[in-house]
Amino acid sequence: MSNTSNTSGSQSSSNSSKGKAQNAADEDVPSPMEVLRNARTQLAELTGMVAESVSSFERTEDGWTLQIEVLELVRVPDTMSLLASYEATCDLQGELTGYRRVRRYERGRSDSNRPGGR
């Protein structure tokens, strides 16, 4: 009987160490809000332009894909300012791995040809 209790005791300690390893791995993965903030900050630093908002956000197998709205040219009135949508990709840790401009538009104009207003 003592042999059975030793076996179950070693299994529970093995399971708890697996749980601790999993928790440590989870702590390395940033939250979605951290990924959003980091991506906006990194894109603004690289382009020198203001990242106004994130209009799309998706987790992928390789990391994250975001659509970030950037103010490219300030005009008066503000509704004539030029904005651009950038598609940004990040790795699993939330570091920017690439970006590209996918469209450019005036702030005051809607884009009726694109689904979802994007």
21 in the same domain as 39: no
Question: In terms of domains, do 1 and 56 share one?
Answer: no
Q: How many domains does the chain have?
A: 2
The pTM (predicted TM-score) of the whole model is: 0.70
Q: Give residue 109's pLDDT band: very low, low, confident or very high (50, 70, 90).
A: confident
| Distance from C-alpha of 106 to C-alpha of 96, rounded to nearest angstrom | 26
66-105 tens-digit pLDDT: 999 999 999 999 999 999 999 999 999 999 999 999 999 9
The owner of tokens 């179950």 is 8
Per the CB < 8 A criterion, the answer to whether 106 and 113 are in contact is: no
Report whether the peptide linkage leading into residue 115 is cis, meaning its omega lies within 30 degrees of zero: no
Q: Which residues span the domain enclosing 42?
A: 31-117
Summarize pLDDT for 21-74 with one digit per residue, the tens: 455 455 688 999 999 999 999 999 999 999 999 999 999 999 999 999 999 999
State the sign of the Cα–Cα–Cα–Cα dihedral 23, 26, 27, 32.
negative
Residue 106's CATH number: 3.10.450
Same domain, 17 and 58: no
Q: Kindly state whether residues 45 and 76 are assigned to the same domain.
A: yes
